[in-house]
Amino acid sequence: IHFILLFSRQGKLRLQKWYTTLPDKEKKKIIREIIQIVLSRHQKTSSFVDWKDLKLVYKRYASLYFCCAIEDQDNELLMLEVVHRYVELLDRYFGNVCELDIIFNFEKAYFILDEFIIGGEVQETSKKSAVKAIEESDMLQETVEEYMNKPAF
């Protein structure tokens, strides 16, 4: 995976994870371009788009688009499963996750993603293990209250 983007239907970025090194300006340009491409796709078309030398795999969950860019030899159908698994992890952690959860707890969305994917590759295929790791990390936080609806920050 080269990068993962989450954005709303209005085109607002909610999460960006880059597994390759690019200058900031370039990243912004790519984000704009891809948001435009994905948002203009017809509903009946496939979830895959050829973009430069990569393949974009995107899926909409409620009001959020999840978009990944993978290489030519990666399996697109499996990537749909990867995206789905991430959503499931978010759901398990937040309990019926919605876009607002991700907006207000973006750093946690990142933490969860980092327990699932490192360096662009899946590290843990068990839902249980991934969520358990995050919950235990949370316990290590010096102030526990933030995870009980009272943010520590």
Q: What does the binding site for another protein look like in residue numbers (CB under 8 A)?
A: 13-16, 18-19, 21, 23, 28, 42, 44-50, 73, 75-78, 80-82, 85, 103-104, 106-107, 110-111, 114, 118-119, 121-129, 133, 136-137, 140-143, 151-153
Dihedrals phi, psi of 80, to nearest 5 degrees: -60, -40
Instruction: Please state the closest distance from residue 51 (CB atom) to another protein, in A.
Output: 11
User: What minimum distance in Å lies between the beta carbon of 96 and another protein?
Assistant: 19
DSSP for 103-136 reads: HHTHHHHHHHHHHHEETTEE----HHHHHHHHHH
Q: Which of 9, 37, 15, 133 is nearest to 83 (CA)?
A: 15
Closer CB to another protein, 46 or 96, in the complex? 46
Most distant pair of Cα atoms in the chain: their distance: 48
Given the complex with another protein, which of 62 and 110 has the nearer CB atom? 110
Q: How far is the CB of 121 from another protein (least distance, A)?
A: 5
Contact 29, 116 (CB under 8 A): no
